[in-house]
Amino acid sequence: MDHEREAAEAEPPSSGAALARPVFPTTVKERERTAAFPQSERARAFRRRHFPQASAEDWNDWRWQLRQRIRDLAGLERIFRLSADEREAVARQTGPLPVGITPYYASLFSDVDASQPLRRTHIPVGDEYLRMPGESDDPLGEDHDAAVPGLVHRYPDRVLFLTTGFCSTYCRYCTRSRMVGGGGEYTFNLAQWQRAIDYIAAHPQIRDVLLSGGDPLTIATDKLEWLLSRLRAIKHVEFLRIGTKVPLVLPQRVTRDLVRMLRRYHPLWMSLHVTHPDELTPEVAESTARLADAGIPLGSQTVLLRGINDDIDTMRRMMHALLKLRVKPYYLYQCDPITGSSHFRTPVETGLAIIRGLRGHTTGYAVPHFVIDAPGGGGKVPLLPDYVVGRDGDDLLLRNFEGQLYRYHDPALTCASA
Protein backbone atom coordinates (compact mmCIF):
# COMPACT_ATOMS: atom_id res chain seq x y z
CA MET A 1 0.00 0.00 0.00
CA ASP A 2 1.20 3.51 -0.80
CA HIS A 3 1.66 5.09 2.64
CA GLU A 4 0.96 8.54 1.22
CA ARG A 5 -2.53 7.29 0.41
CA GLU A 6 -3.29 5.86 3.85
CA ALA A 7 -4.14 9.41 5.00
CA ALA A 8 -6.65 9.93 2.20
CA GLU A 9 -10.20 10.93 2.96
CA ALA A 10 -12.34 7.92 3.89
CA GLU A 11 -15.80 7.07 2.59
CA PRO A 12 -18.92 7.45 4.76
CA PRO A 13 -19.69 4.42 6.93
CA SER A 14 -22.47 3.15 4.69
CA SER A 15 -20.24 2.82 1.63
CA GLY A 16 -18.31 -0.34 2.45
CA ALA A 17 -15.03 1.40 1.63
CA ALA A 18 -11.82 0.70 3.53
CA LEU A 19 -11.93 1.84 7.15
CA ALA A 20 -8.21 1.93 7.85
CA ARG A 21 -7.88 5.57 6.86
CA PRO A 22 -8.79 8.57 9.02
CA VAL A 23 -10.79 11.52 7.73
CA PHE A 24 -9.00 14.86 7.62
CA PRO A 25 -11.41 17.70 6.63
CA THR A 26 -12.05 20.12 9.45
CA THR A 27 -14.62 22.86 9.99
CA VAL A 28 -14.10 26.32 11.44
CA LYS A 29 -16.10 25.27 14.47
CA GLU A 30 -13.87 22.26 15.00
CA ARG A 31 -10.72 24.37 14.64
CA GLU A 32 -12.01 26.79 17.25
CA ARG A 33 -12.51 23.90 19.65
CA THR A 34 -9.08 22.37 19.06
CA ALA A 35 -7.37 25.74 19.62
CA ALA A 36 -8.17 25.45 23.32
CA PHE A 37 -6.04 22.31 23.70
CA PRO A 38 -2.93 23.02 25.83
CA GLN A 39 0.54 23.17 24.30
CA SER A 40 3.66 22.67 26.34
CA GLU A 41 6.57 25.05 25.85
CA ARG A 42 8.57 22.16 24.39
CA ALA A 43 5.88 21.55 21.76
CA ARG A 44 5.66 25.25 20.91
CA ALA A 45 9.43 25.48 20.46
CA PHE A 46 9.44 22.38 18.28
CA ARG A 47 6.60 23.75 16.12
CA ARG A 48 8.33 27.09 15.63
CA ARG A 49 11.59 25.41 14.68
CA HIS A 50 10.40 22.58 12.42
CA PHE A 51 6.91 23.63 11.28
CA PRO A 52 7.17 27.44 11.15
CA GLN A 53 4.20 27.77 8.77
CA ALA A 54 1.86 25.95 11.18
CA SER A 55 -0.33 27.95 13.54
CA ALA A 56 -1.21 26.87 17.06
CA GLU A 57 -4.62 25.88 15.70
CA ASP A 58 -2.99 23.69 13.05
CA TRP A 59 -0.86 21.98 15.68
CA ASN A 60 -3.92 21.25 17.82
CA ASP A 61 -5.83 19.73 14.91
CA TRP A 62 -5.35 15.97 15.11
CA ARG A 63 -5.94 15.61 11.39
CA TRP A 64 -3.16 18.13 10.67
CA GLN A 65 -0.93 16.03 12.93
CA LEU A 66 -1.74 12.94 10.88
CA ARG A 67 -1.14 14.70 7.57
CA GLN A 68 2.24 15.94 8.78
CA ARG A 69 3.52 12.64 10.16
CA ILE A 70 7.21 11.92 9.65
CA ARG A 71 7.24 8.89 7.37
CA ASP A 72 10.53 8.60 5.53
CA LEU A 73 14.26 9.15 5.68
CA ALA A 74 14.06 12.71 4.36
CA GLY A 75 11.48 13.65 6.96
CA LEU A 76 13.56 12.19 9.78
CA GLU A 77 16.78 13.83 8.61
CA ARG A 78 15.04 17.20 8.46
CA ILE A 79 14.51 17.01 12.24
CA PHE A 80 16.95 14.50 13.74
CA ARG A 81 20.66 13.90 13.53
CA LEU A 82 20.45 10.22 12.64
CA SER A 83 23.09 7.68 13.52
CA ALA A 84 24.52 5.57 10.70
CA ASP A 85 22.60 2.59 12.10
CA GLU A 86 19.29 4.49 12.08
CA ARG A 87 19.89 5.86 8.58
CA GLU A 88 20.64 2.42 7.12
CA ALA A 89 17.67 0.80 8.88
CA VAL A 90 15.20 3.42 7.66
CA ALA A 91 16.53 3.15 4.10
CA ARG A 92 15.94 -0.64 4.18
CA GLN A 93 12.36 -0.45 5.45
CA THR A 94 9.66 -1.91 3.16
CA GLY A 95 6.28 -3.55 3.69
CA PRO A 96 4.24 -3.39 6.91
CA LEU A 97 5.30 -1.43 10.00
CA PRO A 98 6.43 1.72 8.19
CA VAL A 99 7.96 4.71 9.90
CA GLY A 100 5.20 6.98 11.18
CA ILE A 101 5.58 9.62 13.90
CA THR A 102 3.24 12.53 14.60
CA PRO A 103 4.92 15.95 14.95
CA TYR A 104 3.62 16.17 18.52
CA TYR A 105 5.21 12.85 19.49
CA ALA A 106 8.42 13.69 17.64
CA SER A 107 8.68 16.82 19.81
CA LEU A 108 9.35 14.50 22.77
CA PHE A 109 12.39 12.92 21.09
CA SER A 110 16.00 14.01 21.41
CA ASP A 111 17.14 15.39 18.07
CA VAL A 112 20.76 14.30 18.65
CA ASP A 113 20.75 11.31 21.03
CA ALA A 114 19.86 8.02 19.30
CA SER A 115 19.77 6.26 22.70
CA GLN A 116 16.95 8.43 24.09
CA PRO A 117 14.16 6.04 25.18
CA LEU A 118 11.20 7.33 23.16
CA ARG A 119 13.34 7.83 20.05
CA ARG A 120 14.52 4.21 20.26
CA THR A 121 10.96 2.93 20.26
CA HIS A 122 10.03 4.63 16.96
CA ILE A 123 13.09 5.10 14.75
CA PRO A 124 14.31 1.79 13.27
CA VAL A 125 17.78 0.36 13.88
CA GLY A 126 19.58 -2.54 12.22
CA ASP A 127 18.69 -5.02 14.97
CA GLU A 128 15.11 -4.85 13.71
CA TYR A 129 16.18 -7.01 10.76
CA LEU A 130 17.54 -9.86 12.91
CA ARG A 131 15.34 -12.89 13.47
CA MET A 132 16.21 -14.72 16.67
CA PRO A 133 15.10 -18.18 17.91
CA GLY A 134 11.55 -18.19 19.23
CA GLU A 135 10.47 -15.12 17.23
CA SER A 136 7.68 -15.17 14.65
CA ASP A 137 5.47 -12.77 12.73
CA ASP A 138 2.38 -13.86 14.72
CA PRO A 139 3.79 -15.06 18.04
CA LEU A 140 0.45 -15.01 19.84
CA GLY A 141 -1.32 -17.14 17.25
CA GLU A 142 -3.99 -14.52 16.60
CA ASP A 143 -4.52 -15.59 13.01
CA HIS A 144 -5.09 -19.17 14.17
CA ASP A 145 -7.71 -18.04 16.70
CA ALA A 146 -9.55 -15.73 14.29
CA ALA A 147 -13.18 -16.82 14.20
CA VAL A 148 -13.73 -14.56 11.19
CA PRO A 149 -11.19 -12.16 9.64
CA GLY A 150 -10.17 -9.58 12.22
CA LEU A 151 -11.98 -11.18 15.18
CA VAL A 152 -9.90 -13.24 17.61
CA HIS A 153 -11.97 -15.50 19.89
CA ARG A 154 -9.48 -17.02 22.33
CA TYR A 155 -11.13 -16.66 25.74
CA PRO A 156 -14.63 -18.06 26.31
CA ASP A 157 -16.46 -14.82 27.12
CA ARG A 158 -14.55 -12.15 25.17
CA VAL A 159 -13.20 -11.32 21.76
CA LEU A 160 -10.49 -9.12 20.27
CA PHE A 161 -11.92 -7.03 17.41
CA LEU A 162 -9.18 -5.76 15.08
CA THR A 163 -10.79 -2.70 13.56
CA THR A 164 -8.03 -1.10 11.46
CA GLY A 165 -4.43 -1.49 10.40
CA PHE A 166 -3.71 2.22 10.80
CA CYS A 167 -1.79 3.81 13.69
CA SER A 168 -0.81 7.42 14.14
CA THR A 169 2.65 6.23 15.19
CA TYR A 170 4.33 2.87 14.66
CA CYS A 171 6.14 1.30 17.61
CA ARG A 172 9.08 -0.79 16.42
CA TYR A 173 8.20 -3.67 18.80
CA CYS A 174 4.58 -3.89 17.62
CA THR A 175 2.96 -7.28 18.19
CA ARG A 176 0.93 -6.79 15.00
CA SER A 177 3.74 -5.50 12.81
CA ARG A 178 2.60 -8.04 10.21
CA MET A 179 -0.61 -6.13 9.58
CA VAL A 180 -0.22 -2.44 10.47
CA GLY A 181 0.57 0.40 8.13
CA GLY A 182 -0.57 -1.33 4.94
CA GLY A 183 0.79 -4.23 2.96
CA GLY A 184 0.28 -7.94 3.43
CA GLU A 185 -2.98 -9.83 3.11
CA TYR A 186 -4.95 -8.00 5.81
CA THR A 187 -7.82 -5.71 4.86
CA PHE A 188 -10.19 -3.75 7.07
CA ASN A 189 -13.52 -2.60 5.66
CA LEU A 190 -17.20 -2.43 6.45
CA ALA A 191 -17.89 -5.94 5.19
CA GLN A 192 -15.22 -7.32 7.53
CA TRP A 193 -16.68 -5.33 10.43
CA GLN A 194 -20.16 -6.67 9.68
CA ARG A 195 -18.97 -10.29 9.63
CA ALA A 196 -17.41 -9.77 13.04
CA ILE A 197 -20.57 -8.12 14.40
CA ASP A 198 -22.68 -11.00 13.08
CA TYR A 199 -20.38 -13.53 14.75
CA ILE A 200 -20.59 -11.73 18.10
CA ALA A 201 -24.39 -11.52 17.83
CA ALA A 202 -24.58 -15.27 17.14
CA HIS A 203 -22.50 -16.24 20.21
CA PRO A 204 -24.30 -15.26 23.44
CA GLN A 205 -21.33 -16.29 25.61
CA ILE A 206 -19.46 -13.20 24.39
CA ARG A 207 -19.97 -10.47 26.98
CA ASP A 208 -16.84 -8.34 26.45
CA VAL A 209 -15.50 -6.86 23.20
CA LEU A 210 -12.05 -5.28 22.98
CA LEU A 211 -11.55 -2.97 20.00
CA SER A 212 -7.94 -2.80 18.86
CA GLY A 213 -5.97 -2.74 15.64
CA GLY A 214 -4.02 -0.65 14.59
CA ASP A 215 -5.55 2.06 16.71
CA PRO A 216 -9.35 2.44 16.88
CA LEU A 217 -9.12 6.12 17.85
CA THR A 218 -7.63 6.96 14.46
CA ILE A 219 -10.97 5.99 12.92
CA ALA A 220 -13.24 8.94 12.11
CA THR A 221 -15.70 9.66 14.90
CA ASP A 222 -18.81 8.87 12.85
CA LYS A 223 -17.41 5.49 11.76
CA LEU A 224 -16.34 4.59 15.29
CA GLU A 225 -19.80 5.47 16.55
CA TRP A 226 -21.33 3.33 13.81
CA LEU A 227 -19.36 0.37 15.16
CA LEU A 228 -19.96 1.08 18.84
CA SER A 229 -23.70 1.52 18.32
CA ARG A 230 -24.04 -1.84 16.61
CA LEU A 231 -22.03 -3.63 19.26
CA ARG A 232 -24.01 -1.94 22.03
CA ALA A 233 -27.24 -3.14 20.37
CA ILE A 234 -26.20 -6.77 20.97
CA LYS A 235 -27.93 -7.60 24.25
CA HIS A 236 -25.39 -10.08 25.60
CA VAL A 237 -22.44 -7.70 25.10
CA GLU A 238 -22.12 -6.26 28.60
CA PHE A 239 -19.26 -3.84 28.10
CA LEU A 240 -16.84 -2.53 25.50
CA ARG A 241 -13.14 -1.78 25.68
CA ILE A 242 -10.83 0.23 23.45
CA GLY A 243 -7.07 -0.37 23.32
CA THR A 244 -5.21 2.73 22.13
CA LYS A 245 -2.00 4.74 22.20
CA VAL A 246 -3.60 7.82 20.66
CA PRO A 247 -4.08 9.76 23.95
CA LEU A 248 -0.28 9.50 24.42
CA VAL A 249 0.99 10.12 20.88
CA LEU A 250 -1.86 12.17 19.40
CA PRO A 251 -3.62 13.65 22.45
CA GLN A 252 -5.30 16.31 20.26
CA ARG A 253 -7.51 13.53 18.89
CA VAL A 254 -9.39 13.47 22.21
CA THR A 255 -11.76 16.23 21.14
CA ARG A 256 -14.91 17.26 22.99
CA ASP A 257 -16.93 15.74 20.15
CA LEU A 258 -15.15 12.40 20.46
CA VAL A 259 -15.65 12.30 24.22
CA ARG A 260 -19.35 13.19 23.94
CA MET A 261 -19.78 10.34 21.49
CA LEU A 262 -17.90 7.80 23.60
CA ARG A 263 -19.84 8.50 26.76
CA ARG A 264 -23.04 7.42 25.01
CA TYR A 265 -21.78 3.83 24.98
CA HIS A 266 -21.11 3.10 28.64
CA PRO A 267 -19.99 0.84 30.17
CA LEU A 268 -16.92 1.63 28.08
CA TRP A 269 -13.36 1.11 29.30
CA MET A 270 -10.07 2.18 27.76
CA SER A 271 -6.58 0.65 27.93
CA LEU A 272 -3.78 3.11 27.18
CA HIS A 273 -0.45 1.94 25.80
CA VAL A 274 2.10 3.82 27.93
CA THR A 275 5.85 3.36 27.50
CA HIS A 276 7.83 5.93 29.50
CA PRO A 277 7.34 8.84 31.95
CA ASP A 278 8.47 11.27 29.24
CA GLU A 279 5.14 10.68 27.51
CA LEU A 280 3.14 12.11 30.41
CA THR A 281 3.03 15.73 29.26
CA PRO A 282 0.54 18.54 29.87
CA GLU A 283 -1.15 17.53 26.62
CA VAL A 284 -1.58 13.96 27.86
CA ALA A 285 -2.88 15.26 31.19
CA GLU A 286 -5.59 17.01 29.16
CA SER A 287 -6.48 14.00 26.99
CA THR A 288 -6.72 11.63 29.95
CA ALA A 289 -8.69 14.18 32.02
CA ARG A 290 -11.26 14.51 29.25
CA LEU A 291 -11.69 10.75 29.09
CA ALA A 292 -11.79 10.28 32.87
CA ASP A 293 -14.23 13.16 33.31
CA ALA A 294 -16.50 11.38 30.81
CA GLY A 295 -16.67 8.42 33.18
CA ILE A 296 -14.39 6.16 31.13
CA PRO A 297 -12.21 4.00 33.42
CA LEU A 298 -8.60 4.18 32.22
CA GLY A 299 -5.96 1.49 32.63
CA SER A 300 -2.39 1.39 31.38
CA GLN A 301 -0.63 -1.33 29.44
CA THR A 302 3.16 -1.14 29.30
CA VAL A 303 5.58 -3.32 27.36
CA LEU A 304 8.79 -3.99 29.28
CA LEU A 305 11.62 -2.78 27.02
CA ARG A 306 15.36 -3.17 27.52
CA GLY A 307 17.15 0.09 28.22
CA ILE A 308 13.91 2.06 27.96
CA ASN A 309 11.75 1.31 31.00
CA ASP A 310 13.39 -1.76 32.55
CA ASP A 311 14.47 -0.27 35.86
CA ILE A 312 12.51 0.21 39.07
CA ASP A 313 12.97 3.98 39.27
CA THR A 314 11.61 4.61 35.78
CA MET A 315 8.71 2.26 36.32
CA ARG A 316 7.85 3.70 39.73
CA ARG A 317 7.90 7.27 38.40
CA MET A 318 5.65 6.27 35.53
CA MET A 319 3.15 4.39 37.67
CA HIS A 320 2.92 7.25 40.19
CA ALA A 321 2.43 9.78 37.40
CA LEU A 322 -0.28 7.62 35.83
CA LEU A 323 -2.22 7.45 39.07
CA LYS A 324 -2.18 11.24 39.27
CA LEU A 325 -3.73 11.27 35.80
CA ARG A 326 -6.44 8.83 37.01
CA VAL A 327 -4.97 5.97 34.98
CA LYS A 328 -4.72 2.67 36.87
CA PRO A 329 -1.56 0.67 36.04
CA TYR A 330 -2.99 -2.57 34.68
CA TYR A 331 -0.54 -4.74 32.72
CA LEU A 332 3.23 -4.89 32.43
CA TYR A 333 3.92 -7.12 29.42
CA GLN A 334 7.00 -9.16 28.75
CA CYS A 335 7.91 -8.04 25.22
CA ASP A 336 6.31 -10.44 22.74
CA PRO A 337 8.74 -12.44 20.57
CA ILE A 338 7.76 -10.64 17.38
CA THR A 339 10.25 -10.97 14.54
CA GLY A 340 13.07 -8.43 14.96
CA SER A 341 12.36 -7.52 18.59
CA SER A 342 15.24 -9.20 20.43
CA HIS A 343 17.01 -5.89 21.10
CA PHE A 344 13.96 -4.76 23.09
CA ARG A 345 13.41 -7.92 25.13
CA THR A 346 14.61 -8.32 28.72
CA PRO A 347 15.01 -11.51 30.78
CA VAL A 348 11.78 -12.42 32.59
CA GLU A 349 13.62 -11.93 35.88
CA THR A 350 13.85 -8.20 35.10
CA GLY A 351 10.08 -7.90 35.22
CA LEU A 352 9.89 -9.91 38.44
CA ALA A 353 12.52 -7.65 40.02
CA ILE A 354 10.45 -4.59 39.07
CA ILE A 355 7.34 -6.07 40.70
CA ARG A 356 9.39 -6.83 43.82
CA GLY A 357 10.60 -3.23 43.79
CA LEU A 358 7.04 -1.92 43.60
CA ARG A 359 5.06 -4.29 45.81
CA GLY A 360 5.13 -3.01 49.40
CA HIS A 361 7.25 -0.01 48.46
CA THR A 362 4.33 1.94 47.02
CA THR A 363 0.55 1.73 46.96
CA GLY A 364 -0.93 -1.41 45.49
CA TYR A 365 -2.80 0.74 42.99
CA ALA A 366 0.59 1.47 41.37
CA VAL A 367 1.53 -2.19 40.87
CA PRO A 368 0.53 -3.66 37.50
CA HIS A 369 0.10 -7.36 36.70
CA PHE A 370 3.29 -8.70 35.10
CA VAL A 371 2.27 -11.13 32.36
CA ILE A 372 3.61 -13.13 29.46
CA ASP A 373 1.22 -13.51 26.55
CA ALA A 374 1.95 -17.19 25.94
CA PRO A 375 3.21 -17.91 22.42
CA GLY A 376 0.89 -19.83 20.14
CA GLY A 377 -2.32 -18.50 21.65
CA GLY A 378 -1.97 -19.61 25.27
CA GLY A 379 -3.27 -16.29 26.57
CA LYS A 380 -1.96 -14.09 29.36
CA VAL A 381 -0.03 -15.88 32.10
CA PRO A 382 0.54 -13.78 35.27
CA LEU A 383 3.97 -13.94 36.89
CA LEU A 384 4.74 -13.14 40.52
CA PRO A 385 7.88 -13.17 42.66
CA ASP A 386 8.15 -16.06 45.12
CA TYR A 387 6.04 -14.75 47.97
CA VAL A 388 4.83 -18.22 48.98
CA VAL A 389 7.93 -20.09 50.22
CA GLY A 390 6.23 -23.39 51.13
CA ARG A 391 4.49 -25.16 54.01
CA ASP A 392 5.49 -26.38 57.44
CA GLY A 393 2.73 -28.60 58.79
CA ASP A 394 -0.38 -26.45 59.16
CA ASP A 395 1.56 -23.24 58.52
CA LEU A 396 1.99 -21.50 55.20
CA LEU A 397 5.41 -19.82 54.92
CA LEU A 398 5.32 -16.35 53.36
CA ARG A 399 8.02 -13.88 52.35
CA ASN A 400 7.05 -10.20 52.60
CA PHE A 401 8.34 -7.25 50.59
CA GLU A 402 11.32 -6.85 52.96
CA GLY A 403 12.38 -10.47 52.44
CA GLN A 404 11.34 -11.54 55.95
CA LEU A 405 9.56 -14.87 56.54
CA TYR A 406 6.18 -15.17 58.25
CA ARG A 407 3.98 -18.06 59.25
CA TYR A 408 0.29 -18.09 58.45
CA HIS A 409 -1.76 -20.82 60.15
CA ASP A 410 -3.59 -22.54 57.32
CA PRO A 411 -4.84 -26.03 58.17
CA ALA A 412 -7.35 -26.07 55.29
CA LEU A 413 -5.57 -28.81 53.33
CA THR A 414 -5.32 -31.03 56.43
CA CYS A 415 -9.01 -30.54 57.25
CA ALA A 416 -10.07 -31.20 53.68
CA SER A 417 -8.21 -34.50 53.61
CA ALA A 418 -9.53 -35.70 57.01
Q: Return the DSSP state at 202.
A: T
Task: Based on the residue annotation, tell me whether 290 is a catalytic residue of this protein.
Answer: no
Catalytic hit among 158, 178, 290, 356: 158
User: Which one is catalytic: 253, 290, 336, 356?
Assistant: 336
Catalytic site residue from 33, 143, 155, 326: 155
Q: Where are the alpha helices (DSSP H) in 80-123?
A: 84-92, 103-106, 117-122
Residue 373 annotated as catalytic: yes
Cβ atoms of 402 and 360 within 8 Å: the answer is: yes
* Given the residues 105, 120, 167, 356, the one annotated as active site: 167
- The span from the CA of 246 to the CA of 215, in Å, is 7
* Cβ(106)–Cβ(47) below 8 Å: no
415 noted as active-site residue: no
Please pick, among 154, 223, 290, 356, the residue that the annotation labels catalytic. Answer: 154
CB 121 within 8 A of CB 275: yes
Please check whether residue 235 is in contact with residue 203, taking contact to mean a CB–CB distance below 8 angstroms: no
Alpha-carbon distance values, 68 to 30, 105, 405 (Å) = 18, 12, 57
- Confirm whether 345 is a catalytic residue: no
167 is catalytic: yes
Are the C-beta atoms of residues 125 and 93 closer than 8 Å to each other? no
Instruction: Give catalytic status of residue 335 as yes or no.
Output: no
Maximum separation of any 2 CA atoms in the chain, in Å: 81
Spatial contact of 136 and 336, defined as CB atoms under 8 Å apart: no
Cα 335–Cα 350–Cα 309 angle in degrees, nearest 5: 65
Active-site position among 380, 395, 399, 410: 380
**Is 155 among the catalytic positions?**
yes
Told to judge if 81 belongs to the known catalytic residues of this protein, a careful annotator would answer: no
Name the active-site residue from 58, 120, 171, 356. Answer: 171
Tell me the catalytic residues. Answer: 154-155, 158, 167, 171, 174, 176, 336, 373, 380
